[in-house]
A and B are shown apart, each in its own frame.
Chain A
Amino acid sequence: MTHVEREQWDVIVVGAGGAGLRAAIEARRAGARTAVVCKSLFGKAHTVMAEGGIAASMANVHPQDDWKTHFRDTMRGGKFLNQWRMAELHAQEAPERVWELETWGALFDRTPDGRISQRNFGGHEYPRLAHVGDRTGLELLRTLQQRSVGLQQEDHRETGDHEARLKVFQEFTVTRILKDGDGRVSGVFCYERESGRFLVLEAPSVVLATGGIGKSFKVTSNSWEYTGDGHALALLAGAPLVHMEFVQFHPTGMVWPPSVKGILVTESVRGDGGVLRNSEGRRFMFDYVPDVFKEKYAETEEEGDRWYEDPDHNRRPPELLPRDEVARAINSEVKAGRGSPHGGVFLDVSTRMPAETIKRRLPSMYHQFKELADVDITAEAMEVGPTCHYVMGGVAVDSETAATVGVPGLFAAGEVAGGMHGSNRLGGNSLSDLLVFGRRAGLHAAQYALSGAGGGVVAAQVDAAAAEALAPFGSPDGHAPENPYTLHQELQQTMNDLVGIIRREGEMAEALERIAALRARARHVSVEGHRQFNPGWHLALDLRNMLLVGECVARAALERTESRGGHTREDYPAMDRSWRPVNLRCHLDGDGIALERTRTEPVRPDLLALFEREELAKYLAEDELEGGRGA
């Protein structure tokens, strides 16, 4: 048996981004001794890259905003596929979660009367996003980080030990969820990047808060960490994923120079007045307003421009359609030969606002283009194009408790959890999502752990996890050794080319074949050097996860024969109401992934009553409409 050091905790949180830290703060507050395990240094999580803001109907800027309006916008954005109870809880609790951040020291931008300012964003009916310039995610993460340190300071005063109740294991990677003989969570297996040593953390509750999967794609706004770890850990532990076919391509990523291709250009650029133009100078978004949104968007440039000053008497410009619509439109313009020199379209603020305003409202965009592309956005247009940004799909969870399906003691929150955003997430709803459901996951994980649940770690699982982690150092059994960097690049190219923004049956089938072949080759992956901070080894272990989630995306996308939100089929270009009540769940099946169709829970009648019947008829299947009317 491998000797591996062990520690005992009540709750383990995997991931130290917004969802993970919010979960840890809540679990600690509920009395659970809580360990946070994160791949990077504390405070570096991908949350820092969120730019635009946190959506919450505080009604500081527009007095008519309320949770019902936010709920409606969220459901529309997700094309009604959202797990509606999550969307409801999210809309109801988001304001409290934002206000709470102020009591921990956050400094949001202010309204003239001193309250938290709120900005416009795609798909949100009212100005709703609390923000700090265009670095809102950094403010959120730093606030949660500093709150965590504040709690450690309290513990130090009381016990003499900063880490008595809340400890961060930074630069540790979890490779397996461990379970007891009854199938309940009993801990995690991880390795320390710095030394390569293994560690088992035992606990009855584990919260997955690992973020997304963007590093499976070539062009992405996501950071190094986004290798689908939590998605894969859940699958391997026996928990299903849902909605994996829905991947959000943010409409505006940088397209040039090549080394920065994919880096995010915040939606605030459009929320604050930026416009999209093609090579002919035309504001093409007016040509791409889909039927379901026809009455809600301006038909002329003049009306759209007036909306910024007088939103009550004008409709918003179509640049502020939900992200899936804008990304597809840009893709079509480029395909039609009306793109910019480097294969994007033009996003212009320079003719819309004075230079000083641009620098004040969009400081990091100004900085980013100046430093990385030699473009002065106060004087010329940016070139932008779609970039893989967010996965709507994730671990299937209970709306109230964030508990996963089928694995007692396993919870998930934030991007790694599925359901909340349906087929497409609205901008600003991710930061509110991770606060609302991070808190819920932490609370329920603590309650579950403190109820005395959970059994012991099974030694054989620890041995197996250690052997799996060491495999890349072994000899590849007579096969040619495979380079992890090469396999990763091939997977990224496959996902980008064959399961990207526009999907076709034959291409997705080919993607599945290529992924199977890559998986076979990955068994012979071989790394040089030793276990101390070895990036080649780390990547070799991450590959397992990226291959699993890549297959989930391709398999679910091949199955869903319609277009909806972040899933666009060239061969099935329309939304099909009969698919509305259908969820595709991914399970582990041997080495690969099997799909299961489940039927969604009917939307509660009082929530349906928030919509006009004509609008519902665009989304809901016929039998669902009948049910809704009868209630």
Chain B
Amino acid sequence: MSTYDARFRVWRGDAGGGELTDYTVEVHDGEVVLDVLHRLQATQTPDLAVRWNCKAGKCGSCSAEINGRPRLLCMTRMSVFARDEVITVTPMRAFPVVRDLVTDASFNYAKAREIPAFVPPAGVGPGEYRMRQEDVERSQEFRKCIECFLCQDTCHVVRDHEENKEAFAGPRFLMRVAELDMHPLDAAEEAGLDRRRTAQEEHGLGYCNITKCCTEVCPESIHITDNALIPLKERVVDRKYDPLVWLGNTIGRRRNRRAP
């Protein structure tokens, strides 16, 4: 096994301010950035604050920015960097810092509460749901989301525009609207809830100008822009300008909803 010393520059500080601090730390074969930060904790700086849970790319806890790019610390292998490169690790920029690499992610939880939940279809009991695989696959893609919030961090609508946060749910939660809107059995419409209209009027879909930054940073490779945001925009337009498309969609949705 080969070992070398890497040069790290890690942001240390809290809400009151902070600075980049230089460290030299040993790296072993096959390691990821999070391994190196753990070694820093165990050997040099035991109180270095960093969130992490699974270290397998499944929980979305260890989001940060590596050389300015939003990434999961546990899925960024050291082998992607040259050995003499200085590796700079900073907290996600779009959220307030708590300490070191840990940010206050409460923006995301507030936005999650603003998206109305799944509305179960009336008269279809547990065990009676029937859906075709091809009809659930679209929403399933969005449900791969591990809520790392890297898309929320990178989206230029809020990244340097704190003032937009109130009106804009961000890619993750616009995708959630799309997911529910594409759910074959969601009965929001019947309950008087127009998900497409609210996407536009309450969750700020109009702010998105499809630059695909969110898609580029998604560690789950979800096609956020192409499969969620653009179709959602199209559906909003359909709704606004084309009653025939709307009618067709509605009938199509009804047809899929088969009781056993």
Which A residues are closer than 8 A to B by beta carbons? 40-46, 48-49, 58, 95-96, 99-100, 102-105, 107-110, 112-117, 132-133, 135, 138-139, 142, 146-147, 149-150, 152-153, 156, 162, 170, 194, 223-225, 256-260, 263-264, 364, 367-368, 371-373, 483-486, 489, 527-530, 532-537
Contact = CB atoms under 8 A, between A and B. Distances in A.
Contact of A364 (B58, B100, B102, B145): B58
B251 interface: no
Q: Give the contact-size bracket for chain B.
A: 35 or more
A27 B41 CA distance: 39
Interface in B95-112: 98-100, 102, 104-105, 109, 112
A534 B126 contact: no
B56 interface: yes
Nearest to B14: A532
Interface string B49-77: 11111111111110000000000000101
Contacts of A260: 30, 55-56
B259 to A, nearest CB: 11
The 7 closest A-B pairs by CB, nearest first: A257-B30, A105-B118, A150-B117, A529-B47, A536-B46, A114-B130, A99-B126
Given A49-B54, A99-B127, 10 more contacts: A99-B129, A103-B120, A103-B126, A109-B140, A110-B133, A142-B143, A223-B53, A258-B1, A533-B49, A536-B41
B48 A110 contact: no
A368 B57 contact: yes
10 contacts: A41-B51, A48-B146, A49-B58, A107-B143, A194-B98, A259-B32, A368-B57, A372-B57, A485-B41, A528-B47
Nearest to A261: B30
A105 B180 contact: yes
Contacts of A58: 127
Given A95-B127, A484-B46, A528-B47, A105 B183 contact: yes
A135 B144 contact: yes
B55 A149 contact: no
A478 B144 CA distance: 53
B224 to A, nearest CB: 16
B118 A150 contact: yes
A534 B133 contact: no
B20 interface: no
Given A99-B126, A102-B129, A105-B183, A44 B56 contact: no
A79 B61 CA distance: 38
B57 A41 contact: no
A164 to B, nearest CB: 13
Contact of B117 (A96, A107, A146): A146
Contact of B99 (A107, A133, A532): A532
Contacts of B145: 142
Contacts of A372: 30, 32, 56-57, 75, 77
B58 A152 contact: no
Nearest to A109: B133
Contact of B46 (A156, A527, A533): A527
A483 B46 CA distance: 9
Which of A95, A102, A368: most chain B Cβ within 10 A? A102
Interface in B155-198: 180, 183, 186
Contacts of A112: 133
A138 B57 CA distance: 12
Contacts of A115: 129-130
B29 interface: yes
Contacts of A43: 147
B135 to A, nearest CB: 8
A184 to B, nearest CB: 33
A42 B117 CA distance: 17
B255 interface: no
A528 B52 contact: no
B28 interface: yes
B146 A138 contact: yes
B118 A146 contact: yes
